[in-house]
Amino acid sequence: MTTNHELFQRAQARIPGGVNSPVRAFKSVGGEPFFTARADGAYLWDVEGTRYIDYVGSWGPMIVGHNHPSVREAVERAVRDGLSFGTPCAAEVTMAEAIAAIVPSVEVVRMVNSGTEATMSAIRLARGYTGRQRIVKFEGCYHGHGDAFLVKAGSGALTLGVPTSPGVPKALADLTLTLPYNDLGAAQQLFAEHGDEIAALIIEPVAGNMNCILPRDGYLAALRELCTKHGALLIFDEVMTGFRVALGGAQAHYGITPDLSTFGKIIGGGMPVGAYGGRREIMQQVAPAGPIYQAGTLSGNPVAMAAGLAMLDLVRTPDFHAQLDRRTRLVTDGFAAAAAEAGVPLAINRICGMFGLFFTDAAKVETYAQATACDVATFNRFFHAMLARGVYLAPSAFEAGFVSIAHTDEVIAATIEAARAAFRDAATA
Ligand code: PMP
């Protein structure tokens, strides 16, 4: 039998850090990752045959659980007709119509192959459409690895961009302005000073990349107003929240109409898919309808479209999100009770299908500063204590947890049983 350790040794020799996406390497929690051999429903099995209840769900796509028969069979049917055509295909049209029907702000949509591509393309479009160069993002929000997004703020209300990663040109980073999430005053000040230079403000309407942080009441509406007033486009990055926090995404949940939206994850059913779309008049600027160039050899791939359409059919069933919300409550209430029992201070954020556990005395976590001030060492001990009991949480204190419809009451009860012991371990270690 190949072991996880052997595979990780081989992987490290030939793949940077042994992984094809950084968080997978367990760097922040310590130890070595396991290598998944197969996945089904709420479970992953590693190459050694160990089973884990999975609260990562491939980082979001697996909202109906792994290996759902409808999605798998749709893919199997599509594969029989060929893997890629390089011509238009009917499934792309159905997909665009389905997205527009579910998300009314998206009148016209372009399919791409990842969330990163979606956000990169959306800001190019925003810049081309407005004729402005600056973009605004939020500290702690992640929009993929495009140069313009790998910029963080220093402390203080607003900071001109400093690249987070070597390789991001300073000149480009300078065009990215960064704001603290949930601080309306800082946004008002930034727009007062730079409003007429800003092409777009891009935000995760529920932040899922600094653990899970919800927007304060009225915050998104106020950002909408600011953008409208200053002629900047409002881009909701719904790569994580789309089709999850509500069928119509965070924009439906909070009742806000962005100018552009970006999607990924669920929309591909587990295949590499992203999309960006919005108001017709803006989207018509994209080539070949308009002059703003964006393209993709595999975009709108027939197999990926089949997976995504099967997925959308499943999440569109009545009651799906009510069920998912109930399950999310059940698991987060269970975590809260187990932590209290073990005397571990824990704050929890949740919304349908997503949650965040914060090891902190704070009653409520609403900012990046609060999220990063949490007790990472205790989280790391908790993570490993859960893993040892067969429950896989995201391997970083700064990632959201994902619940799927395959997390039945029974699966959740087993999770909470493990958490009772894991909180005790984490507290005493
Ligand atoms: N936007 C958000 C909100 C994301 O969470 C992610 C990925 N976690 C991305 C964009 C980038 O997507 P991808 O990894 O598919 O490039």
pLDDT digits (tens, 9 = 90+) for 330-381: 999 999 999 999 999 999 999 999 999 999 999 999 999 999 999 999 999 9
Kindly state whether residues 209 and 268 are assigned to the same domain: yes
Q: How far apart (Å, rounded) are the C-alpha atoms in residues 310 and 86?
A: 22
CA 183 to chain centre: 21
Q: How far apart (Å, rounded) are the C-alpha atoms in residues 246 and 354?
A: 11
Three-state DSSP at 334 gives helix
Residue finishing a domain among 315, 331, 358 = 315
Kindly state whether residues 311 and 339 are assigned to the same domain: no
Q: How far apart (Å, rounded) are the C-alpha atoms in residues 51 and 195?
A: 52
Residue finishing a domain among 300, 315, 330 = 315
148-174 per-position pLDDT tens digit: 998 864 433 344 566 778 898 989 999
* Mean pLDDT for the stretch of residues 69-93: 98
Q: How far apart (Å, rounded) are the C-alpha atoms in residues 16 and 163?
A: 21
Three-state DSSP at 382 gives helix
Q: State which of 240, 351, 396, 398 you would mutate to test the pocket of ligand 1, scoring each by most atoms of that ligand within 8 A of its C-beta.
A: 240
Residue 177 CA to ligand 1 centre (angstroms): 19
Residue whose structure tokens are 């070595």: 32
Domain count, the chain: 2
pLDDT of 161? 62
**What CATH number does the domain containing 62 carry?**
3.90.1150.10
Q: Is the pLDDT of residue 193 over 60?
A: yes
Kindly state whether residues 224 and 129 are assigned to the same domain: yes
- Domain residue limits at 137: 69-315
Kindly state whether residues 131 and 165 are assigned to the same domain: yes
Residue 131 CA to ligand 1 centre (angstroms): 26
| Contact between residue 332 and residue 305 where contact means Cβ atoms under 8 Å apart | no
pLDDT of 309? 98
Atom nearest to 21 CA in ligand 1: 14
Sheet holding 176-179, edge to edge: 108-112, 274-278, 260-264, 233-237, 198-203, 134-138, 176-179, 159-160
Q: Is the pLDDT of residue 314 over 60?
A: yes
Kindly state whether residues 248 and 124 are assigned to the same domain: yes
Kindly state whether residues 291 and 325 are assigned to the same domain: no
Residues near 136 by beta carbon (within 8 Å), at least 6 away in sequence:
176, 177, 178, 179, 187, 190, 198, 200, 201, 202, 232
Kindly state whether residues 232 and 376 are assigned to the same domain: no
Average pLDDT, the chain: 95
Q: How far apart (Å, rounded) are the C-alpha atoms in residues 157 and 191?
A: 12
Kindly state whether residues 333 and 416 are assigned to the same domain: yes
Q: How far apart (Å, rounded) are the C-alpha atoms in residues 180 and 177?
A: 10
Helix (H) or strand (E) holding 70: helix 69-80
**What CATH number does the domain containing 144 carry?**
3.40.640.10
Kindly state whether residues 61 and 148 are assigned to the same domain: no
Q: How far apart (Å, rounded) are the C-alpha atoms in residues 346 and 348?
A: 7
Whole-structure pTM value: 0.97
Residue whose structure tokens are 């910029």: 151
pLDDT of 429? 63
Q: How far apart (Å, rounded) are the C-alpha atoms in residues 238 and 220?
A: 14
Residue finishing a domain among 284, 315, 346 = 315
Kindly state whether residues 328 and 408 are assigned to the same domain: yes
46-67 per-position pLDDT tens digit: 999 999 999 999 999 999 999 9
225-252 per-position pLDDT tens digit: 999 999 999 999 999 999 999 999 999 9
* Mean pLDDT for the stretch of residues 168-197: 95
Residues with CB under 6 A from ligand 1: 59, 114-116, 119, 142-144, 204, 208-209, 237, 239-240, 264, 274
pLDDT of 232? 98
Atom nearest to 274 CA in ligand 1: 15
| Contact between residue 376 and residue 328 where contact means Cβ atoms under 8 Å apart | no
Q: How far apart (Å, rounded) are the C-alpha atoms in residues 313 and 301?
A: 18
Kindly state whether residues 38 and 174 are assigned to the same domain: no
pLDDT of 380? 96
* Mean pLDDT for the stretch of residues 198-211: 96
Kindly state whether residues 106 and 29 are assigned to the same domain: no
